[in-house]
């Protein structure tokens, strides 16, 4: 059975006959599950059997979401979490273990960069940043014996920069370490990082994956192909009492979860003890959004192209950044990794005073002024003063975020109305 993406996104991971023939995925709104007999309980509590026990650890509604996303990516294992930040932070902690380092860039979601400074040092995880993420050689040069993963976003916000995924995967694998990719802006419809060498893929499902802007959720997926027994991940091989077998012998994560060590460990440790479980109702909401992923993203990419053409011919626009904008250095990488389009986030430089920029933001009627992206509704924001406000001037310079930047996230409205809205906003500020 090898169905196409669109079939999988509405059907994979769910068999109605296993759920009272319910056509929609049921919401299993329960905290706990009956254990049956005490021998079954033994197997459940040692992870030898994977049926649900308690919704913090797993739940059948979230399980359908996990299975469906695995099918869409050809992934070996997956885990749904209560937010994208839980997905990012659990993943990096799981990879780094004790005393490990993560090699990454400042070109990341603001919350991710923030947690490097405010959370990870307390937990003994160090972060190394490359200065020019467009040069894979710099990742090569900055690797240390303690580096456990290279971490990048496949499409960045607000500038839609694209890393050379395969080159980074080759560097990581030469050193026996993981390539972890945050694929939030891309969605699996536009790019499947596992096809380009990624070992672990994370999402904020709050954004395009669910697409309706009604839920906060996150996802971690693993390829199922990486060898965690290669010496760089001793924390996966350590015998653990809570994983003991029927004879009270301690077992390791690698032994109990041989096919899915990464998400197995993340579930048994990070989700279990830190507890950001996705609620069954929210898992259902993500499933609902996922059903229309391809159709939504196609429309959003088309709207983005139309708005790009409008902005590139506007005298109040200093520059436009999008992989297919004029002069973009990412066109070739976009052709290679994003053949169906380079997403629905673009940025432009507003030619005018700070006050005029604020008037412009206040003048749009269709574009909503809010911090998220990947919504069904089109959004506008001034990232340097809002979503990326925690960046110091030096960090802002490093990621190329100037104060005149305006970011758009294109939704599902009519392209002509979106362009009309921007046009009337420019007219409000500068006159007809």
Ligand X SMILES: *Cc1c(COP(=O)(O)O)cnc(C)c1O
End-to-end Cα, the chain, rounded Å: 59
DSSP state of 8: H
Please answer whether residues 103 and 149 qualify as being in contact, where contact means their C-beta atoms are separated by less than 8 angstroms. yes
Contact flag: residue 197 with ligand X (CB under 6 A): no
Strand 77-81 relative to strand 345-350, pairing: unpaired
Which residues neighbour 295 within 8 Å (Cβ) at sequence distance 6 or greater?
Answer: none
Q: Give the integer Cα–Cα distance in Å for 128 and 103.
A: 5
The residue range among 10-18, 57-65, 81-89, 388-396 that interacts with ligand X, by the rule CB under 6 A, is 81-89
Q: Give the integer Cα–Cα distance in Å for 43 and 319.
A: 60
The residue range among 129-137, 165-173, 204-212, 295-303 that interacts with ligand X, by the rule CB under 6 A, is 204-212
Q: Residue 296: name the closest of 212, 184, 415, 366 by CA.
A: 212
The smaller minimum CB distance to ligand X, of residues 104 and 206, is found at 206
Contact flag: residue 409 with ligand X (CB under 6 A): no
Contact flag: residue 184 with ligand X (CB under 6 A): yes
Contact flag: residue 193 with ligand X (CB under 6 A): no
The two structure tokens encoding residue 31: 């905290």
Ranges within 110-139 binding ligand X (CB under 6 A):
111-112
The smaller minimum CB distance to ligand X, of residues 72 and 286, is found at 286
What ranges in 38-146 are assigned the alpha helix state H? 38-45, 60-73, 84-96, 110-118, 136-142
Which residues neighbour 420 within 8 Å (Cβ) at sequence distance 6 or greater?
Answer: none
Contact flag: residue 107 with ligand X (CB under 6 A): no
Q: How far is the CB of 401 from ligand X (least distance, A)?
A: 15
Place of tokens 């069904």: 376
Q: How far is the CB of 89 from ligand X (least distance, A)?
A: 9
Contact flag: residue 84 with ligand X (CB under 6 A): yes
Contact flag: residue 192 with ligand X (CB under 6 A): no
Largest CA distance in the chain: 81
The residue range among 82-90, 144-152, 290-298, 406-414 that interacts with ligand X, by the rule CB under 6 A, is 82-90
Q: Which of 161, 216, 285, 422 binds ligand X (CB under 6 A)?
A: 216
The residue range among 79-87, 171-179, 288-296, 418-426 that interacts with ligand X, by the rule CB under 6 A, is 79-87
Main-chain phi, psi angles of 152, to 5 degrees: -140, 165
DSSP state of 129: E
Place of tokens 């972060």: 127
The size of the interface with ligand X (CB under 6 A), counted in residues, is 16
Q: How far is the CB of 427 from ligand X (least distance, A)?
A: 32
Residue nearest to ligand X (CB): 84
Q: Which of 204, 304, 378, 387 binds ligand X (CB under 6 A)?
A: 204
Q: How far is the CB of 54 from ligand X (least distance, A)?
A: 23
Q: How far is the CB of 403 from ligand X (least distance, A)?
A: 21
Interacting residues toward ligand X by CB under 6 A: 83-85, 88, 109, 111-112, 153, 157, 182, 184, 204, 206-207, 216, 218
């Amino acid at each position: 059975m090898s169905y196409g993406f669109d079939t999988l996104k509405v059907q994979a991971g769910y068999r109605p006959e296993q759920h009272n023939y319910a056509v929609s995925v049921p919401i299993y709104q329960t905290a706990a599950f009956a254990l049956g007999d005490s021998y079954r309980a033994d197997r459940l509590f040692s992870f030898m059997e994977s049926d649900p026990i308690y919704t913090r650890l797993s739940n059948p509604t979230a399980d359908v979401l996990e299975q469906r996303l695995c099918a869409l990516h050809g992934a070996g294992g997956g885990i749904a979490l209560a937010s994208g930040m839980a997905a990012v932070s659990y993943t990096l902690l799981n990879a780094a273990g004790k005393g490990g380092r993560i090699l990454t860039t400042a070109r990341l979601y603001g919350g991710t960069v923030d947690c490097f400074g405010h959370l990870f040092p307390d937990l003994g995880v160090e972060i190394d940043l490359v200065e020019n993420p467009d040069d894979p050689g710099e990742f090569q040069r900055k690797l240390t014996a303690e580096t456990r993963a290279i971490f990048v976003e496949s499409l960045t916000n607000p500038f839609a920069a694209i890393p050379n995924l395969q080159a980074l995967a080759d560097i990581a694998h030469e050193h026996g370490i993981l390539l972890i990719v945050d694929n939030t802006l891309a969605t699996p419809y536009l790019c499947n990082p596992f096809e380009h060498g990624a070992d672990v893929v994370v999402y904020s499902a709050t954004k395009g994956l669910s697409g309706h802007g009604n839920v906060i959720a996150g996802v971690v997926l693993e390829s199922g192909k990486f060898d965690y027994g290669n010496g760089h991940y001793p924390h996966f091989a350590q015998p653990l009492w809570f994983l003991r077998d029927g004879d009270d012998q301690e077992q390791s994560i690698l032994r109990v979860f041989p096919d899915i060590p990464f998400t197995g460990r993340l579930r048994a440790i990070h989700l279990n003890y830190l507890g950001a479980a996705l609620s069954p109702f929210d898992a259902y909401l993500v499933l609902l959004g996922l059903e229309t992923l391809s159709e939504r993203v196609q429309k959003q990419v088309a709207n983005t192209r139309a708005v790009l053409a409008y902005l590139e011919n506007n005298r109040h626009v200093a520059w436009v950044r999008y992989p297919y904008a004029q002069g973009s250095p990412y066109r070739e990488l976009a052709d290679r990794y994003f053949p169906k389009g380079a997403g629905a986030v673009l940025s432009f430089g507003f030619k005018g005073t700070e006050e005029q920029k604020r008037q412009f933001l206040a003048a749009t009627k269709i574009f909503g002024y809010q911090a998220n992206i990947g919504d069904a509704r089109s959004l506008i924001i001034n990232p340097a003063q809002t979503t990326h406000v925690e960046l110091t001037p030096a960090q802002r310079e490093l990621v190329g975020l100037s104060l005149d930047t305006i970011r758009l996230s294109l939704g599902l409205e009519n392209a002509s109305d979106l362009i009309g809205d921007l046009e009337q906003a420019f007219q409000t500020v500068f006159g007809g």
